[in-house]
Amino acid sequence: MAESNILTLKHLELDTLLDITNAINRQQDEQSLLKIFLFTLIANFKINKLMVCSRERGSWYEILRHGLPKEFVPDVEELKAVAENFTITRFKDSELALKNEFEVSIPVGRESRTIALILLGTTAKMGGEMNEESLKFIQTISNIIVVAIQNIRLTNRRLEQQAIKKEMEIARKLQSLLFPQNLPVKENIKITAKYIPQLIVGGDYYDYIELNENEFIVCIADVSGKGVGAAFIMSNLQSALRILAKQGLRLEQIVAELNTTVYNNARGEKFVTFFIAKYMLQKDKMVYINCGHNAPLFYNNEGNFELLDKGSVILGAFENLPIVETGRIHGIANSVLFCYTDGLVETVEYTNTDAALEQVKQLIKDNLIPEKLNDEVLQKLKIEGENSIDDITILTCALKNLEPNTK
């Protein structure tokens, strides 16, 4: 190579490296860096065809192309074969189909593995075929560009994760405000709850609302989805429920209004399974409505179990609930109501709902005090946070004589 050409090439290399370094220092985004890379190859090396393929998590993705037919898609197995060489490969005498579009492949390596391939077509630079020095320089700037792009993606993922973490933390705080701070543990009423989120914040909700000294409401719900969106729906549901409950409305009216609230706020993107029960102590009865929720277990004073499944469809699926049926139970003294969300019966050990509920029934029959029942259920079903598929919520309401009187 003539001395003048060598000097020209060295000046070109220095100018190119300076431009790329400045772009990286200015924290240019991925597309800007790729444009600089493409312009450099076209302007200085007269490249007429180019494809950059990046490997992430074992798969190959195209991140840049130039001068190629729209229908052209490289064979993944050929990309893998070329990448394994870990050296600059000329396709002149190759049997690979890649030679129909490209002359040379330049690997970009990191930690002894190929993380990207630069596929180059014909060039008019210096008489046609590029010399080894030019190819090595292209490999150098390719390494700089690709590594910079990977760092940008890593940074973006970290920022996204931080944003998600912050969102989840906000949702967690919001959700903690929705759960009742104190549940009654009185002489004749003992209500206990257990909540295990599968993520930082889930879509489960439960509540206790005292109407007067003889009447109260308990409910449990499961909002589809996670995060702030689910917490927002829960917040609206709780606010509406507490307002409606204090107005003395029938359960049918409350459920209809709650459905409207969920339908309007979720816009068909989220739904809520919901169970609500109203206890009337003086009348020794309870009324309930189940809107698509896992049917709670009711253990009566005769030692029998009943699944509370009367009600309607899930909230938010329709603008108006098609039908609402109210369940009624007479004789609630010495009874236990066991409510739960689907995470309880969708664990690794218990994929069969009936098998899990039989275990729960036996524990209830053993006359465990309510404060211990929920923990014993989780222990019996071998449920811990790490082996739960979904959020788990248990709400237990026991009336009279399940343990010695305490106030």
- In 3D space, the residue among 85, 126, 119 whose CA is nearest the CA of residue 102 turns out to be 119
Q: Would you say residue 273 has pLDDT above 80? A: yes
Instruction: State the Cα–Cα distance between residues 22 and 38, nearest whole angstrom.
Output: 16
Calculated CA dihedral for residues 363, 368, 373, 378, nearest 10 degrees:
-40
Dihedrals φ, ψ of 167, to 5°?
-65, -45
Helix, strand or coil for residue 222? strand
Is the Cβ–Cβ distance between 295 and 354 less than 8 Å? no
Alpha-carbon distance values, 299 to 28, 206, 405 (Å): 66, 20, 20
Please give the domain boundaries of the chain with CATH numbers for all domains.
3-157 (3.30.450.40), 179-399 (3.60.40.10)
Confidence of residue 291 (pLDDT cuts 50, 70, 90): very high
The amino acid occupying position 70 is K
- Say how many CA atoms lie within 13 Å of 72 toward its Cβ: 17
Residue 268: CB atoms within 10 Å: 11
pLDDT tier at 296, thresholds 50, 70, 90: very high
In sequence order, the 6+-apart residues with CB closer than 8 A to the CB of 30 are 63, 149, 152, 153
Query: Tokens representing 233?
Result: 């729906």
Question: Per residue in 17-75, pLDDT tens?
Answer: 666 676 666 667 888 888 888 888 887 788 888 999 988 877 888 989 998 988 899 88
- CA-nearest of 379, 363, 374, 376 to 397 is 374
Q: Is residue 152 predicted with pLDDT exceeding 80?
A: yes
> 379-394 pLDDT, tens per residue?
877 665 444 556 788 9
376: buried, middle or exposed (CB in 10 Å: 19+, 13-18, 0-12)? Answer: middle
Per-residue pLDDT tens digits for 2-19: 455 544 555 555 666 666
What amino acid is encoded at 218 in this protein?
Answer: V
DSSP string, 292-319: SPPPPEEE-TTS-EEE---EES-BTSSS
Rounded CA-CA distance 349/360 in Å is 14
Q: Is the pLDDT of residue 141 over 70?
A: yes
Strand partners, 107: 117
What percent of the chain shows pLDDT beyond 70?
Answer: 81
- What separation, in Å, do the N-terminal and C-terminal C-alpha atoms of the chain show? 98
Picking from 332, 337, 351, the residue whose alpha carbon sits closest to that of residue 295 is: 337
Distance CA(332)–CA(285), nearest Å, equals 6
Cα(22)–Cα(379) distance, integer angstroms: 60
Q: What are phi and psi of 18, to 5 degrees?
A: -65, -45
Q: What type of residue sits at position 192?
A: T
- CA dist 34 to 43, 70, 105, 144, 282, Å? 14, 19, 17, 11, 76
Select the more confidently predicted residue: 396 or 147.
Answer: 396
Q: What separation in angstroms does the CA of 132 have from each of 87, 136, 248?
A: 12, 6, 86
Report the chain's C-alpha Rg in angstroms.
33
How far, in Å, CA of 109 to CA of 147, rounded? 9
Sign of CA dihedral 313, 315, 317, 318: positive
Contact residues for 53 (Cβ-Cβ < 8 A; gap 6+): 60, 61, 62, 63, 74, 79, 116, 117, 119
Assess whether pLDDT exceeds 90 at residue 338: yes
**What six digits make up the tokens of 224?**
């589809």
